[in-house]
Structure 1
Amino acid sequence: MRRFLVPLACAALTSLPTFSAFSAGAGPGLTLEAAVQTALRQNPLLRAGGHELAASDGAIRQAGLIPNPSLSLDVEDTRRETRSTSLMLSQTIELGGKRAARVELARRDRDVAALELEARRAEVRASAIQAFFDSLIAQERVQVAQASLEIAASGAQAVSRRVTAGKVSPIEETRARVAESSARIELRQAQADLASALRALGVVMGEAPGAIVRVDGSADALPALLEGPALDERIEQSPLLRRARMAVQRADAAFELERARATPDVTVGVGGKRAAELGRTQPLISVSIPIPLFDRNQGAQFEALRKRDAAQALAQAQEQQLRAEVLQAADQLRARAEEIEVLRRDVLPGAQAAHEAARRGFELGKFGFLDVLDAQRTWLQARGQYFAALSQAHRLCADIDRRLGAADAP
């Protein structure tokens, strides 16, 4: 088994204050594990799925019950002297294994409901993970925007001092103030994006609005991507594929029930008849058997058989689609991981070094402020590309997790 471990160690970034997830002195925030566990415990969709699964137990119980007996009373003639009264207790006896077939169908319905709940749990879990990392990346964007504003403000002050000293044109100060205003706008947008991401995370977790204010984790950490036999095993055990295959078994149980219904049931009855003219009670015994001359349930059997064939075809299509989507997402994730590594190792340090060199050169009078703005713009674009790649990578991870389910799922 070969594993593709995404090399996203962020040791090279620890020296950059703009990539600190939390400000100094801040308290601990919500962790990924806590977010996932809370979502699995409180999400209303999962609670609804649990109730639906519990309801299937009642369907199994109902399917195993035998038909109720019937009591009939017949009175002939209204005159007391010639009146005859008949009392009959009848019971239908199911033949052909109908009750067992009903129970089997109800059990398959419960199994489908259980796998539906498991697939829903995978959906909620993946949504919680995606929302968590969206919040974490948005949180880091805020920290970066704050650092960018501090850099822009510091640059504006430096330009102002040089303008006062008569070393540069006042136009340079205007450009610096514009850059500072742009950085402030970027910070406000980042704060709005963070509030939106935290609100979305709270919805997945089933929390009240405003209950989550911080998240705690490393946005650089991506899970290992399985390949080869390990990936094939995860696909085989995915809730979506198991649910599709269980639907085939459910359709087969429905066909067996329709075939059992082709056997007619027998209704037997015992009772007595009281004849006033005879002055005694006569015993009554009845047996009723339908003759399957025209209706042998052949239409329902044909329908159930074709539905079983359709379920088999859908299961095959589900497997092919699932495998193609997972492999495609894995290829995209591998490409994003390589992009992240290049940005982390080469682009970000180089862009930061160029910005620092341009700023120092401007303070020494070697460069113009346009050079500083250009270097700063390049650095901001590199960081934006880095965050975009991180966000896309985590979305791909959540998408794979949504399709394959948790590795430790029952």
Structure 2
Amino acid sequence: MFKGIFDPTKSDGWRAHRRVTEVACAVFALLALPGGAFAQGAVPPLSPTNSDAASQGASAASTSVLSLSKAISLAMEGNPEVAAATRQYEATEGQVLQGRARPNPELAYSLEDTRSQTRTQTWQLNLPLELGGKRTARTKAAEKAREQAQAELSELKATVRANVVAAYFDALTAKERLSLAKDSVSLAKSSTDTVGKRVAAGKVSPVEETKAKVAEAGVRVELAQAASEERNALTRLSALLGNKGTAFAALDGKADVLPTLPSLADLQSLVSSAPAIVRAQLEVDRRRALTELEQSKRVPDVTVSVGVQRSNETQRNVALIGLSVPLPVFDRNQGNLLEALKLEDKAREDLQAATVRLHSEVTQARERSAAIAVEVQSLEQEVLPGAKSAYDAASIGFENGKFNFLEVLDAQRTYFAAKSQYLKALAEAHRAASDVDRLLGGVTPAGQAATHN
């Protein structure tokens, strides 16, 4: 399109120069427009989040490399489940305020005889007085509910943090698998070209070239699958951060660096401070407080009344002082007290069940992590070097005419299968460590290292 402008055969070169200047000015004008197409296409728009702070954090993440600690921080700010649990915790403050409230006084008015000469009017103020420690017990139960909501929030944050760690390393390993698939395609293409040259030279049968092309097509399918897995992994990670789309450019981490977990005995000693156990213990305390509240209701409240009575017939004001006490003859709150006692017993049983279950889950996660670590070590030190050496030897032998293509293809498949198994084992190792971190609430050294990585 610029051929006419720069054609030296044109006599009016100054017009060409002017047209170039106009085109350049137009391009700079488009770039300078804040709402223009170039400005909108410079950085992809971020999906909406639940808070302004999360949007600002996601915007910063889109222009920088996302580290694991930054991903955890963004998840704590923008994850919708964490936000909802935070609102639930904040709502329990209303229960505490309501529990501390005293009963309202009551203003009563009565009229006797509608005739004005003999009319009697009464104004009375009734003030209920709670006895038996009802207000204290009610406030204590509300405070325990608030502590329980805080424990649930901490447990949810530990779960989200563990899910972010697992998703982060899933994305890293998916990226490695995609790189592996690309290398496999490159090698398959090189092998196909080599076989084609040997077929053209008459050294091998054309069938070998057909097999090479079929193998290359299969590897390209694996490349497409690896690319899809990477996109899905990034999407899952982005969703945990509170975004609907990927809001970061790259990940800063190494999947082959395995987390270090304490011994099983050390992990078992941390079970008592795990979020699930703390929440179950707080449920026992809350049920105990509710039981005390129901016991306090067995003591009847007293209502003190003061007022004045005016009689038109006698033209005198009479002071009134009264006291009313319910008689607990039929309803002694025995049903509610029995229910509270049974629910308190249930909470204790739930605490014991949660402790046993958590000990079992921690043991299983620790054993799974140890087994996967052994698998990773075996693949890294024995399987991968042997498979790589066999593949290199087969490739060199094929180039020198000592091996056929099927042997090269078999060695290549063995090597890439071992590498893929190695990457899957790495992802599973990080997932097992994140399960331990989730169960114990991030108090393990692996969880703390992930947070400060």
Within a 5 Å distance, the mapping from 1:31-110 to structure 2 comes to 31-110=67-146
Within a 5 Å distance, the mapping from 1:10-409 to structure 2 comes to 29-407=65-443
Residues in 1 aligned to 2:136 and 2:311: alpha-carbon distance in whole angstroms: 43
Q: Deviations over 1:207-240 (max 9, x none)?
A: 2413134212111122211125421332111101
Deviation at 1:243, TM superposition (A): 0.6
SS at match of 2:101: coil
Asked whether the equivalents of residues 287 and 344 of structure 2 are also in contact (C-alpha less than 8 Å), the reply is yes
Residues in 2 aligned to 1:78 and 1:406: alpha-carbon distance in whole angstroms: 75
Residues in 1 aligned to 2:127 and 2:335: alpha-carbon distance in whole angstroms: 28
Residues in 1 aligned to 2:78 and 2:182: alpha-carbon distance in whole angstroms: 34
SS at match of 1:225: coil
Deviation at 1:75, TM superposition (A): 0.5
Deviation at 1:393, TM superposition (A): 1.3
Q: Deviations over 1:20-56 (max 9, x none)?
A: xxxxxxx963111111111111111111111111111
Residues in 1 aligned to 2:169 and 2:101: alpha-carbon distance in whole angstroms: 51
Q: How many residues align?
A: 383
| Superposition TM-score, scaled by structure 1 size | 0.91
Asked whether the equivalents of residues 198 and 212 of structure 1 are also in contact (C-alpha less than 8 Å), the reply is no
Question: What is the letter of the counterpart of residue 72 of structure 1?
Answer: A
Asked whether the equivalents of residues 75 and 85 of structure 1 are also in contact (C-alpha less than 8 Å), the reply is yes
SS at match of 2:123: strand
Residues in 2 aligned to 1:307 and 1:149: alpha-carbon distance in whole angstroms: 63
Asked whether the equivalents of residues 198 and 213 of structure 1 are also in contact (C-alpha less than 8 Å), the reply is no
User: 1:21 aligns to what?
Assistant: none
SS at match of 1:220: coil
Residues in 1 aligned to 2:229 and 2:410: alpha-carbon distance in whole angstroms: 26
Identify which of structures 1 and 2 has the higher relative contact order when contacts are C-alpha pairs closer than 8 Å and 6+ apart: 1
Asked whether the equivalents of residues 28 and 216 of structure 1 are also in contact (C-alpha less than 8 Å), the reply is no
Residues in 2 aligned to 1:89 and 1:389: alpha-carbon distance in whole angstroms: 76
SS at match of 1:90: strand
Structure 1: runs of 5 or more not aligned: 1-26
Residues in 1 aligned to 2:124 and 2:437: alpha-carbon distance in whole angstroms: 63
After superposing the two structures, state which structure 1 stretch, 264-273 or 215-224, moved more.
215-224
Runs of at least 4 residues off by over 3 Å: none
Asked whether the equivalents of residues 128 and 304 of structure 2 are also in contact (C-alpha less than 8 Å), the reply is yes
User: 1:15 aligns to what?
Assistant: none
Q: Deviations over 1:108-138 (max 9, x none)?
A: 0001000000000001101111110110000
After superposing the two structures, state which structure 1 stretch, 207-216 or 269-278, moved more.
207-216
SS at match of 1:264: coil
SS at match of 2:248: coil
SS at match of 1:30: strand
Question: What is the letter of the counterpart of residue 336 of structure 2?
Answer: A
Task: Summarize the Cα distance change of 1:80–1:28 in structure 2 as closer, same or farther, 3 Å threshold.
Answer: closer
Question: What is the letter of the counterpart of residue 274 of structure 2?
Answer: S
Residues in 1 aligned to 2:406 and 2:115: alpha-carbon distance in whole angstroms: 119
Aligned-residue CA RMSD (Å): 1.3
Residues in 2 aligned to 1:138 and 1:81: alpha-carbon distance in whole angstroms: 96
After superposing the two structures, state which structure 1 stretch, 44-53 or 318-327, moved more.
44-53
| Superposition TM-score, scaled by structure 2 size | 0.83
